[in-house]
């Protein structure tokens, strides 16, 4: 009964969405039909319509070859592009609506090739059976709006399961990137994968090596910014795909200590990821200090989710632990310098995956700094230490404070409360000092031009050394009156000259 009700609900949602398709889509379909060609809405948009989600991407498929598609689109719009011609895709834009139309096709990889070969097909049903998963192998014929579902995609939507139209092994052999898409869709849709798909992911993970790093990274990014990235990560690790794509995370599974002398690093990492996501959008940051931090852009400001940098930092923050684990004579376990080593490992992995330079730099920096506030609640920090923390975090301050808070995963409720209180106190200290000193713009009390004029210098290393001295003075003591700053600079310069 529940399955019947869900099916009826999905059908209702789909029909309601399809009834509201833009008139311009109907106009386009009529142009193709009048020319003797088929045109259908296909894949993700059809799936999302049944799930009650708005259609943002109008992916269409046709029996027309690319050159004919381009001509017909030219009758519909003045803005047409053929950047995807090599893959059978032509795009166009009209009245705020962007469409991409692909000729019926099949993608396959030659041995040793990193780019798929394109073979054109002759029927909609044949095109659908070559797609990645049954839930993406549904189409809506236009303009009549008739559902075409040769692979049982609607049934699998009802069940919440990912299956392939053909055997999973054949599907992944045709396009290995589908292995990553399986993990991505488990996170994005909240679906499970069939046993056939799960087995094939493990068996064929090595085939991902023929796919370009950029395409693998794109799927990994989509997984990480989905609603539940933990599900996809767990699937990648369980099947062994992570050994190929993110081996540093996979290795965390081997850090389990059967004597329970330290926490399960893998489970801890997934929990930190979940908790970091919960801290996006500022909803779970509490207290006056946290409210100030998340509302003031200069001190971190709000962090609209999904935030890829924070999530990657949470996933990678402890990847240095397996390489640094040491069992001490007293029975304790240490992971000395795992933050620094982990930062290097994260940067290396992200370079291999072809992430952009800024994302790589930001994630590595957060991994490196995630322990910087360790012990704050046990030892009183001077104002100087707080200033240095803020200076070193720079524009990553908001993300770093969230990562530090997310990293609190102890089962001891009292310890968790103490650590969270320390986190709140640090935030409060930052706000208080910021209000007093405009902390977001920490600069020496004398700039380079003033230093050169006072000491009679020209640009060079000596000016840099003097500026660094003044910056350290600013961090240690806060703002200094101008005359006093000049006096201190001259005294430092005299001592330096006498050495």
Least confident interval from 178-192, 347-361, 368-382, 397-411: 368-382
Please report, to the nearest 10 degrees, the dihedral formed by the alpha carbons of residues 65, 67, 72, 75 taken in order.
Answer: 170
Torsion (CA) 102, 105, 107, 113 in degrees, nearest 10: -80
Return the pLDDT at 72.
97
Average pLDDT over the chain, rounded to whole? 88
Burial letters 387-423, b for 16+ CB under 10 A, else e:
bbbbeebeebbbbbbbbbbbbbbeeeeeeeeebeebb
pLDDT at 33: 97
pLDDT tens for 146-173 read 999 999 999 999 999 999 999 999 999 9
Token pair recorded at residue 48: 């999302």
Range scoring the smallest mean pLDDT among 1-15, 35-49, 276-290, 443-457: 276-290
What is the model's pLDDT at position 440?
53
The domain segmentation of the chain, as residue ranges, is: 1-156, 160-245, 260-441, 448-498
pLDDT tens-digit readout, 35-84: 999 999 999 999 999 999 988 889 999 999 999 999 999 999 999 999 88
pLDDT in tens, 87-98: 899 999 999 999
Contact 91, 72 (CB under 8 A): no
Q: Is the pLDDT of residue 290 over 60?
A: no
For residue 349, what are its two tokens? 């992995």
In tens, the pLDDT along 297-336 reads: 545 667 888 999 999 999 999 999 999 888 878 777 788 8
Taking the CA atoms of residue 103, residue 109, residue 110 and residue 116 in that order, the dihedral angle to the nearest 10 degrees is 50
Span 127-135, average pLDDT:
95
What's the pLDDT score for residue 114?
52
Integer CA distances (angstroms), 316 to 222, 242, 381, in order: 17, 13, 28
Q: C-alpha angle 346/430/420, rounded to 5°? A: 65
| Predicted confidence (pLDDT) at residue 259 exceeds the cutoff of 50 | no
Q: Is the pLDDT of residue 235 over 90?
A: yes
> What is d(CA 450, CA 480) in angstroms, rounded to the nearest whole number?
15
Checking if the pLDDT of 447 tops 90, the result is no
Q: Does the structure show a pLDDT above 50 at 231?
A: yes
Mean pLDDT, range 242-250, rounded to an integer: 97
Quote the CA–CA distance of 369 and 360 in Å, as a whole number: 14
What's the pTM?
Answer: 0.83
- Tokens 């946290």 belong to which residue? 290
For 342-345, which contacts have Cβ atoms below 8 Å and span 24 or more sequence positions? 342/316, 342/317, 342/318, 342/367, 342/368, 343/367, 343/368, 344/320, 345/248, 345/316, 345/319, 345/320
Q: Which residues, 6 or more positions from 78, have their beta carbon under 8 angstroms from its beta carbon?
A: none
**Separation between Cα atoms, residue 295 and residue 302, nearest integer Å:** 6
CATH code for the structural domain at 160-245 = 1.10.110.30
pLDDT at 473: 86
CATH code, 1-156: 3.30.460.10
pLDDT at 460 over 80: yes
- Which tens digit of pLDDT belongs to each residue from 339-394? 999 999 999 999 999 999 999 999 999 999 999 887 666 667 888 888 888 889 98
In this predicted structure, the answer to whether residue 178 has a pLDDT above a threshold of 80 is yes
Tell me which of 159-163, 170-174, 438-442, 452-456 is least confident: 438-442
Using H for helix, E for strand and C for coil, what is the string for 458-488? CCCHHHHHHHHHHHHHHHHHCCCCHHHHHHH
What tokens does 11 get?
């059908």
Q: What angle do CA 66, 138, 225 make, to 5 degrees?
A: 90
Report, as an integer, the average pLDDT of 220-245.
97
- Helix%, strand%, coil% for the chain, nearest 5: 60, 10, 30
Using the predicted structure, report yes or no on whether residue 284 has a pLDDT greater than 70. Answer: no
């Amino acid at each position: 009964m529940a399955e019947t009700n869900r099916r009826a609900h999905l059908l209702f949602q789909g029909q309601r969405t399809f009834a509201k398709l833009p008139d311009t889509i109907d106009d386009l379909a009529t142009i193709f039909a009048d020319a003797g060609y088929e045109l259908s809405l296909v894949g993700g948009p059809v799936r999302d319509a049944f799930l009650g989600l708005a259609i943002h991407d109008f992916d269409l498929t046709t029996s027309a070859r690319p050159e004919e598609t381009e001509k017909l689109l030219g009758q519909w719009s003045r803005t047409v592009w053929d950047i995807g011609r090599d893959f059978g895709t032509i795009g166009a834009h009209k009245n705020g609506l962007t469409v991409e139309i692909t000729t019926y096709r099949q993608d396959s990889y030659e041995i040793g090739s990193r780019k798929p070969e394109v073979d054109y097909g002759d029927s909609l049903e044949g095109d659908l059976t070559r797609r990645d998963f049954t839930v993406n192998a549904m189409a809506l014929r236009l303009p009549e709006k008739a559902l075409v579902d040769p692979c049982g995609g609607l049934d699998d939507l009802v069940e919440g399961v990912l299956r392939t139209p053909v055997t999973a092994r054949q599907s992944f052999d045709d396009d290995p990137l589908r292995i990553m898409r399986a993990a991505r869709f488990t996170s994005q849709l909240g679906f499970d994968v069939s046993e056939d798909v799960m087995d094939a992911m493990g068996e064929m993970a090595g085939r991902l090596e023929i796919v370009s790093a950029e395409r693998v990274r794109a799927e990994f990014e989509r997984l990480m910014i989905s609603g539940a990235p933990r599900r996809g990560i767990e699937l990648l690790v369980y099947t062994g795909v992570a050994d190929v794509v993110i081996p540093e995370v996979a290795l965390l599974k081997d850090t389990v200590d059967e004597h329970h002398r330290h926490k399960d690093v893998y489970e801890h990492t997934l929990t930190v990821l979940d908790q970091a996501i919960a801290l996006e959008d500022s909803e779970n940051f509490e207290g006056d200090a946290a409210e100030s931090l998340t509302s003031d852009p200069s001190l971190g400001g709000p962090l609209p989710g999904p935030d890829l940098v924070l999530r990657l930092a949470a996933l990678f923050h402890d990847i240095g632990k397996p390489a640094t684990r040491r069992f001490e004579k007293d029975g304790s376990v240490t992971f000395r310098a795992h933050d620094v080593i982990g930062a290097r490992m994260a940067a290396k992995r992200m370079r291999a995956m072809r992430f952009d330079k800024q994302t790589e730099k930001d994630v590595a920096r957060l991994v490196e700094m995630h322990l910087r506030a360790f012990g704050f609640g046990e030892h009183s920090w001077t104002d100087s230490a707080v200033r240095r923390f803020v200076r070193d975090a720079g524009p990553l301050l908001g993300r770093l404070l969230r990562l530090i808070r997310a990293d609190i995963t102890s089962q001891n409720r009292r310890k968790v409360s103490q650590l969270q209180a320390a986190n709140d106190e640090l935030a409060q200290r930052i706000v208080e000092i910021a209000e007093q000193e405009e902390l977001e713009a920490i600069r020496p009390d004398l700039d380079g031009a003033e230093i050169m004029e006072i000491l009679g210098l020209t640009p060079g290393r000596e000016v840099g050394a003097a500026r660094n001295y003044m910056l350290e003075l600013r961090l240690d003591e806060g703002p200094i009156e101008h005359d006093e700053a000049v006096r201190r600079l001259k005294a430092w310069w005299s001592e330096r000259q006498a050495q």
